[in-house]
Structure 1
Amino acid sequence: MANPLIKRLRRQFQKKKPAKSVKIGSRSRRLNRWFMWLAPGIFIKRWLFISILGVLLTSLGLAIWAQLTPIFFFIELISGFLETIATFVPSYISGPIALLLGLFLIFWGQSRTVGSISEVLNPDQDKELIDVLTTHRKLVKGPKIVAIGGGTGLSTLLRGIKTYSANISAIVTVADDGGSSGRLRREQGMLPPGDIRNCLAALADEEKLLTELFQYRFSAGEGLTGHSFGNLFLSAMNNVTGDLEQAISASSKVLAVRGQVLPATLVDMRLVAEMEDGQIIEGESQITEAGGKIRHLGCYPENPPALPAAVKAIEEADLILIGPGSLYTSIIPNLLVPEIRQALQRSQAPSLYICNIMTQPGETDDYTVSDHIRAIDQVSPHPLFKAVLAQSRSPNPTSLQRYAEELSHPVYVDREAIRSLKRRLVLANVMFEDPKIGHVRHDPYRLGKAIMRWYSRAQ
């Protein structure tokens, strides 16, 4: 049987040992943080060198101006001081001590300087300042990405790609006429803010909190019931700034949005659909509720002018993404603007259409991937994208049963038909399934990863 004293000493030793390793690990991480300040791309080394050079040149200029008198007396003073030290302390002792003291003062001074800067620029201290700077540099150097669409599909896409670039332009449809957006459109005479609101929230730094705030709908109050806070916020901004474009720009600054959100047009655009049974239906919300098959989609006015900033974004883009989202009420409405369509035709940037995972009742019943492509091609005589991204795996049986009850099914990938339309097929598992309710949607992070992987190969 072991001695109780030995057991107690062993327990104490085992308790102290991890604490020591944690302390050493913490010091090692802190040292690595310091070396990161000298990493390429942070632009610290060059400015530090220039600052030191500036100090030396300033000192030299003052010395020359004073006819070198200060330098002479300074050298005499230092020489006498060093001779005095060498008399009492050997050079092999005094030299290392002075060197270590100098290095300590430099390190201490710089650490306090960086600490003071961090307190101002990063008051919450959620991340190290060097991590913030590194991420910022990476995002600023990211490709210029244009994402075209609307609804929840576009906001999902933006959440996925904003971790790869800060140079994002989201071009959003303004054809919505239902719900809170429709009421503001009729009562305030402004363009529908709903899809714009979702995109601003998706691109904001504090995305989760802002999304909850912007999606909050008032359940009581005369005139407030049914309105979302985000729509009212944009409505107020619209009244303050004078138009929607300036309202979005001002909101982007207030919300620290990464990128820009641009309406496809500033014209009061309304969708008009010709159904297979000959019916003519006007209004985005009415088209979906009609439940028939759409033969042709147009708009009124017939050729709305594009927002110049949206056209410029497409012309300067390194990567163009179309979708995901409702085919006839979120994606194609943007393409009905002639200048946007023409800019897409002229662009030489890699372009990718992201197809929906499930068919949408009332819009794309029984549609395959090639049917989605043909619907978009019907809008333009020339192809507007070079490749299509489709879901590679089918949802689980629970999800399939739930969607079948709503007359919705997975979009079938018909490879031969896609090839005949001269589009490259990109297959990837970009799906998120909620196991509790069997809800299927695009996973923003899987989607972003799949897109950037394709883009790196397509360049």
Structure 2
Amino acid sequence: MSLSLFKQALLVLSHESRSRTPQRVNTWFKWLAPGLLVKRWLLLSAGGVLLTSLGLAIWVKLTPIYRLIQLINDILEKVASFFPSYISGPLVVAFGILFILWGHTRSFNAITEVLKPAGDEELIDMLLAHRRLNRGPKIVAIGGGTGLSTLLRGLKTYSANLTAVVTVADDGGSSGRLRREIGVLPPGDIRNCLAALADEEKLLTELFQYRFRAGDGLVGHSFGNLFLTAMSEVTGDLERAIAASSKVLAIRGRVLPATLSDVRLWAELADGRCIEGESKITEAKGNIVKIGCIPANPPALPKALQAIREADYIIIGPGSLYTSVISNLLVPEIAEAIAERQVPSIYVCNIMTQPGETQGYTVSDHIRAIDEACGKRLFNAVLVQRKSPSANALIRYAQENSHPVFLDREAVEQLGRRIVLANVMDEDKNTALVRHNSQRLARVLLRWYSRAQSQPVGDFKF
């Protein structure tokens, strides 16, 4: 019995050893990947060892070193008599390089254990990912609400050069209460974007989205909104609060408000009503014919303008057309900066129409609304969901007077926009809710960006 257990143990150990060896060798070869900026330092270290040895030899006038060299020479002559130099030489060199790589890898792993004790990721994998993400395109995403945070959640796996320009026109829920009671700019959309860009996204999202269920004055407030409000009080304004919070959360990219002005939206409806307030516009359930903000021409945040001017790629949406997307573009300097850029730019159209904002809208209606609100052409392509939701989802949304956004291809082409058709939708089977899939959306947007640089005309299907 004991002999059989011993044999099984040996088999398990040999199997684990075989499985670990190729993985370890693969890890060593990763250190030789181009652009990692490691090989040069390894060679510099080896050169330092040689220089140190030479310096010691000169210092002691070569007397003991000469004898040591003579001994090594005798040993090498003996070895060469058994193994030709064209075999023994490369073999020794290979062992030397192996020992150098092994020693450096073990050193870096020891550092990794200190910096990231709970992580299973190898330091080399962390460095490769860091290099890849920092070489990604400079992307500016403009919007608000859950749509922008969904987009950022996917884009952060492709590039660390992300800038989210977020609306500050929200006046409902917890953000609205803090805005009225304390006088801070609404932190809700910014909170969602910070959580989406954080490395520990799941835990931080739960923490930032947590809403207090008890407590005098706390009920209904989210922890993230209170956190940003407190940071605004400590640092002096929302911009500094976001920057400090970004460091605390170690986010990938940055989040910027479109303006630091206290902006309030207003809308004229087809029935003649004039509604003021972002939350009240949607609640009015009317057809919007004109939208604006108070003050009429709020100044843009300088860093947001700089990000747009340096961008390689500009993405507008997804999100509520008027209250999340156009609300950013009502800042004149933002719209002008986008219009001046000759880089790939795309609008991510919503999958479903939104009661109170875009009921009955087609894809061309969405484009036309943005053009009319800004007075400029800001993007050259539009991303449209390719397949319709399931029958259950269509029935559920129809009860709320919401339907899939119809692609009127000819009207879109007349507006001079390219069409990107792709399946970027997620549908919850239990609730029949339809949302953009963050990973598929980001993958399609990056593939289109790559193709748009080499194929400036034509529609795309993914």
| Cα displacement string for residues 31-56 of structure 1 (whole angstroms, at most 9, x for unaligned residues) | 11111111112111111112323444
> Match of 2:184, SS?
coil
- Alpha-carbon distance in structure 2 between the residues aligned to 1:314 and 1:87: 68
Match of 1:378 in 2: 372
How many Å apart are 1:21 and its aligned residue?
A: 4.0
Cα gap change, 1:455 to 1:15, in 2 (>3 Å):
same
Match of 2:397 in 1: 403
Match of 1:302 in 2: 296
Which residue, out of 254, 258, 265, partners 1:260?
A: 254
Matched, 1:341 2:335: yes
| Cα displacement string for residues 356-377 of structure 1 (whole angstroms, at most 9, x for unaligned residues) | 0000001000100000000000
> Match of 1:378, SS?
helix
Cα gap change, 1:107 to 1:91, in 2 (>3 Å):
farther
| Cα displacement string for residues 384-426 of structure 1 (whole angstroms, at most 9, x for unaligned residues) | 0000000000000000000001110000011000000000000
- Alpha-carbon distance in structure 2 between the residues aligned to 1:317 and 1:90: 61
Match of 1:130 in 2: 124
Which residue, out of 108, 119, 122, partners 1:114?
A: 108
Aligned length: 448
Amino acid at match of 2:267: A
Cα gap change, 1:91 to 1:188, in 2 (>3 Å):
farther
Matched, 1:75 2:75: no
- Alpha-carbon distance in structure 2 between the residues aligned to 1:115 and 1:318: 36
Cα gap change, 1:348 to 1:58, in 2 (>3 Å):
farther
Matched, 1:394 2:391: no
Amino acid at match of 1:426: V
- Alpha-carbon distance in structure 1 between the residues aligned to 2:72 and 2:130: 48
Q: Provide the aligned C-alpha RMSD in A.
A: 2.7
Which residue, out of 200, 216, 223, partners 1:229?
A: 223
Amino acid at match of 1:433: E
Amino acid at match of 1:50: L
Match of 1:199 in 2: 193
- Alpha-carbon distance in structure 1 between the residues aligned to 2:446 and 2:271: 42
How many Å apart are 1:434 and its aligned residue?
A: 0.4
Which residue, out of 167, 170, 188, partners 1:173?
A: 167
How many Å apart are 1:354 and its aligned residue?
A: 0.1
> Match of 1:169, SS?
strand
Match of 2:23 in 1: 29
- Alpha-carbon distance in structure 2 between the residues aligned to 1:88 and 1:423: 78
- Alpha-carbon distance in structure 2 between the residues aligned to 1:88 and 1:163: 56
Which residue, out of 146, 150, 156, partners 2:144?
A: 150
Correspondences of 1:50-61 after superposition (within 5 Å) = 50-57=44-51, 60=54
Match of 2:134 in 1: 140
Match of 1:311 in 2: 305
Match of 1:92 in 2: 82
Q: In terms of mean alpha carbon deviation, does 113-122 or 290-299 score higher?
A: 113-122
Cα gap change, 1:88 to 1:233, in 2 (>3 Å):
same
Amino acid at match of 2:280: Q
How many Å apart are 1:277 and its aligned residue?
A: 1.1
Query: Which runs of 5 or more residues in structure 1 are unaligned?
Result: none
Correspondences of 1:237-252 after superposition (within 5 Å) = 237-252=231-246
How many Å apart are 1:76 and its aligned residue?
A: 3.1
Residue pair 2:349, 2:383 contacting (<8 A) in 1 also: yes
How many Å apart are 1:110 and its aligned residue?
A: 3.2
Q: TM-score, normalised by structure 2?
A: 0.91
Residue pair 1:311, 1:339 contacting (<8 A) in 2 also: yes
Q: In terms of mean alpha carbon deviation, does 301-310 or 24-33 score higher?
A: 24-33
- Alpha-carbon distance in structure 2 between the residues aligned to 1:425 and 1:103: 53
- Alpha-carbon distance in structure 2 between the residues aligned to 1:249 and 1:324: 24
Q: In terms of mean alpha carbon deviation, does 362-371 or 18-27 score higher?
A: 18-27
- Alpha-carbon distance in structure 1 between the residues aligned to 2:390 and 2:210: 32
Matched, 1:214 2:217: no
- Alpha-carbon distance in structure 2 between the residues aligned to 1:213 and 1:261: 18
Cα gap change, 1:107 to 1:49, in 2 (>3 Å):
closer
- Alpha-carbon distance in structure 2 between the residues aligned to 1:250 and 1:135: 24
Residue pair 1:122, 1:129 contacting (<8 A) in 2 also: no
Correspondences of 1:434-449 after superposition (within 5 Å) = 434-449=428-443
How many Å apart are 1:90 and its aligned residue?
A: 8.4
Q: TM-score, normalised by structure 1?
A: 0.91
- Alpha-carbon distance in structure 2 between the residues aligned to 1:401 and 1:116: 57
- Alpha-carbon distance in structure 1 between the residues aligned to 2:97 and 2:177: 67
Cα gap change, 1:297 to 1:52, in 2 (>3 Å):
same
> Match of 1:426, SS?
strand
| Cα displacement string for residues 188-211 of structure 1 (whole angstroms, at most 9, x for unaligned residues) | 111000000000000000001100
Which residue, out of 27, 33, 55, partners 1:39?
A: 33
Residue pair 2:57, 2:65 contacting (<8 A) in 1 also: no
- Alpha-carbon distance in structure 2 between the residues aligned to 1:89 and 1:160: 58
Cα gap change, 1:355 to 1:81, in 2 (>3 Å):
closer
| Cα displacement string for residues 294-326 of structure 1 (whole angstroms, at most 9, x for unaligned residues) | 000000000000000000000000000000000
Amino acid at match of 2:179: R
- Alpha-carbon distance in structure 1 between the residues aligned to 2:106 and 2:16: 24
Query: Which runs of 5 or more residues in structure 2 are unaligned?
Result: 454-462
Residue pair 2:109, 2:123 contacting (<8 A) in 1 also: no
Amino acid at match of 2:117: P
How many Å apart are 1:122 and its aligned residue?
A: 2.7
